[in-house]
Chains A and B, each alone.
Chain A
Amino acid sequence: MTIQFNEETFRDDYSFYNSDWAIKRFPFPFHEDSYMYAVNMEQHRGGPEGSVYEKRFDVDEHYVSEMRDRAMVLADDPLRCQSLPHMTLAGWDLLELIMVSKSEDYPDLFELHRDGDTWRWVNKPLGIDDTFTFLDETTLPYGPMEYITRQAQGDFCVLDQRDEMLWMDAGMVTTQADWSLDFDIGMNFFEWHAPVPLAHEMGIFKRALKFLLNIQQGAPARRLNWTMTVNPLLDTSPENYHKWGIQKTTLTPENIGSKQHLRVELQTFFRLPRSNALVFPIRCYLCSFQDLMTMPKWGRRLHRVVRDLPVELATYKGFIDNRPMMLDYLSQFDDGLPTSPGVFPEFDTEPPLTKSS
């Protein structure tokens, strides 16, 4: 299928939108009517056709606009992309992984032609046709990690593995849920997760670290995470909190359906072959409440999840103040009927809403 790329913005006039196709395949993160942390890992070996889980690196209608937004963030703040000196080899690993995956998974959009170390990369949506020498940085306009992640949706953390520990030693981070690469660079797994409430006490991070240290070549893994964002902002960084934090106070009962977005991260994990580093792509998907409510199952379930979420989590995820207004809105879409298990919308089988708002 050929993707029609949206002409849209993630700032100023916020012209971002999801087509019906994008809504239907939105990675709704709740498989039941409540939510608590879990080491919810599974293998990343494809998924249902057309879903965001199908390809190694999902490309969707937002691709071109997201890459434009990334370039703007980097122009304002080059420290969103950093790679400590020992991580260059991992950057080449990542470049290879993305180029090989995208050219195999989307042959109509991307091409990779390899002749020994001479590689030609064609990215049709972005109008790029570059020839370079693999493992020779001087033949690319940026370092290998920056070069390829300016052409790949989602943030990328490249983690070095040493001493039974993971280290945040490189990354491209412009679409993050309120954390800073510049602050976390060089930290270990426990240090950069220190701000997360409850999960440490539950032993989540110890177990997650053991799992991640053992992710092997050829056996990538994935999980989902989520938060809430007012306005379709990709760049909700601490660096720019003064710009976007205030926007959380602009919600009203009239505009909440279009302004409030559920923000879902599809997090994947790949062992990088040459460097033995681990890459952790964090792909952000946004969907407005009103678009989510077009799926009766998601309407019922989102209300129940937001209503029953522990205060610590609602606070950490930054929507405790707006929760009452969210619940007023969401309760209109919850008629109390049971929901089917699993994350998919089941639009054809789930009963329509039996409540009129």
Chain B
Amino acid sequence: MSAAPQKAKPGAEQIDVTVSAVVPLNDLVTRFEFTRTDGQPFPPFSGGAHTVVTMNDDGRTRLNPYSLMSDPADTSTYAISVRRDDAGRGGSLFMHTRVKAGDQMTITYPVNLFSLDLRARKHVFFAGGIGITPFMSMIAQLERSNGNWELHYSVRTETLGTYVDELRYKFPNKVHVYYDDQSQSIPLEDLLDGQPLGTNAYVCGPKGMIDWVHATASAAGWPDAQVHSEEFTAPQPGKPFEVRLCKSDKTIQVGENESLLEALEREGVNAPFLCRGGACGQCETDVVAFEGEFIHRDHWLEPEQKAGEKIMPCVSRFIGPSLEIDR
């Protein structure tokens, strides 16, 4: 059919927002609150959703995904919490050092790659550090529907316990906090044992923590489909490389501190995207020819596709004399 053919745009729909508050929470984490610039209510969203924030960093466009951590039913405001990453490529530093209340920004409609399984009789959340953010909106959603949940939250120190005080105050019987510097750790095996039938587990945190929860749950006999995780791979810096774009008939350079996707966008070659973290599959790109080695960092491609068939330009890189892709 072609009633009114329209070319698909890269990324999700955009919303113009005004930064309504910048709230430092501790040495590392700051909350940013947004209102809609056009005065309309925001769309409601589902707990666990993220938005991609566009940053104009002195002419260089950065697009970073952050979990929405405000109450999904509150359509007057959206909020994200950003952990400063001094070793990262600069997106979080830009947010921390440059963004001020009153600034105009652009964010995408909510996209959810980490949603609640609404069949679950009980939801058990495991958070590590800044991995708390998606659970903030999930908890708000479940509280409105009398959902059964509990949170196990591991933080480095008391002063770095983002939202610990608020969560403990509101939900003293449901929130359990573990401090690394006091040698406390989540008693995972005990917690996974003895949960009622129909419990779902969710983990968000460092990769090691995610792997630990999956492996422990699997060993304890949990079905894989009842253990959910979200790990956005932040694009890592790497050695510069050259790519031939056969559709666009261009050869471009990917710099040390940019991803292949960002290099495409810089050159005006739009590839579709949603998560920019190797999870959603939108930017999947065919490899036409290559001589060298891929550094695949996505969670999307099948092992056999990684042998030179496809690449996810949002997070993956390449080392070698030549790469040609279908863009």
* A interface residue numbers (CB < 8 A to B): 27, 29, 31, 40, 42-43, 45-48, 51, 53, 84-87, 89, 135, 160-163, 210, 214, 216-219, 222-224, 273-276, 342-343
What is the CA–CA distance of A210 and B300 in the complex, to the nearest angstrom? 12
Complex contact A214–B119 (CB within 8 A): no
Complex contact B45–A217 (CB within 8 A): yes
What is the CA–CA distance of A219 and B117 in the complex, to the nearest angstrom? 23
Q: Which B residues are in CB contact (< 8 Å) with A29?
A: 1
Residue B109 is within 8 A (CB to CB) of chain A in the complex: yes
Q: CB-defined interface of B91-115 with A at 8 Å, one 1/0 digit per residue?
A: 0000000000000000001111001
Q: Which B residues are in CB contact (< 8 Å) with A31?
A: 1-2
Q: How far is the CB of B63 from chain A (nearest CB, A)?
A: 15
**Selected interface stretch from B4-12, B229-237, B259-267, B303-311:** B4-12
Residue B139 is within 8 A (CB to CB) of chain A in the complex: no
Complex contact B3–A160 (CB within 8 A): no
> Smallest CB-CB separation from B272: which chain A residue?
A214
Complex contact B44–A223 (CB within 8 A): no
Q: Which A residues are in CB contact (< 8 Å) with B43?
A: 217-218, 273
Q: Which A residues are in CB contact (< 8 Å) with B46?
A: 273-276
Complex contact B110–A47 (CB within 8 A): no
Say what secondary structure dominates the interface of chain B.
loop
What is the CA–CA distance of A161 and B114 in the complex, to the nearest angstrom? 11
Q: How far is the CB of A40 from chain B (nearest CB, A)?
A: 5
The residue among A46, A51, A161, A218 with the most chain B CB atoms within 10 A of its own CB is A218
Q: How far is the CB of A256 from chain B (nearest CB, A)?
A: 26
7 nearest interchain CB pairs?
A218-B13, A86-B118, A276-B46, A276-B115, A218-B109, A47-B4, A86-B119
Residue B225 is within 8 A (CB to CB) of chain A in the complex: yes
Q: CB-defined interface of B24-48 with A at 8 Å, one 1/0 digit per residue?
A: 0000000000000000000111101
Pairs A–B under 8 Å by Cβ, sample size 15 = A31-B1, A48-B3, A89-B145, A161-B115, A216-B12, A217-B45, A218-B12, A218-B109, A222-B3, A273-B46, A274-B44, A274-B73, A276-B46, A276-B48, A276-B112
Residue B54 is within 8 A (CB to CB) of chain A in the complex: no
Complex contact B274–A214 (CB within 8 A): yes
* B interface residue numbers (CB < 8 A to A): 1-6, 8, 12-13, 43-46, 48-49, 72-73, 109-112, 115, 117-119, 141, 144-145, 225, 274, 280-282
What is the CA–CA distance of A216 and B52 in the complex, to the nearest angstrom? 13
What is the CA–CA distance of A238 and B8 in the complex, to the nearest angstrom? 37
What is the CA–CA distance of A210 and B109 in the complex, to the nearest angstrom? 19
Within 8 Å by CB of B110, from A210, A223, A273, A343, lies A273
Complex contact A53–B4 (CB within 8 A): yes
Q: Which A residues are in CB contact (< 8 Å) with B3?
A: 27, 42, 47-48, 51, 53, 222, 343
What is the CA–CA distance of A185 and B4 in the complex, to the nearest angstrom? 33
Q: Which A residues are in CB contact (< 8 Å) with B45?
A: 217, 273-274
> Smallest CB-CB separation from A31: which chain B residue?
B2
Complex contact A224–B111 (CB within 8 A): no
What is the CA–CA distance of A275 and B141 in the complex, to the nearest angstrom? 10
Q: Which B residues are in CB contact (< 8 Å) with A46?
A: 4
Q: How far is the CB of A214 from chain B (nearest CB, A)?
A: 6
> Smallest CB-CB separation from B114: which chain A residue?
A276
What is the CA–CA distance of A84 and B118 in the complex, to the nearest angstrom? 11
Q: Which B residues are in CB contact (< 8 Å) with A222?
A: 1, 3
- Known A-B contacts A218-B109, A273-B43; the reply to A342 vs B12 at CB < 8 A is no
Complex contact A42–B6 (CB within 8 A): yes
- Known A-B contacts A86-B118, A224-B1; the reply to A216 vs B274 at CB < 8 A is yes
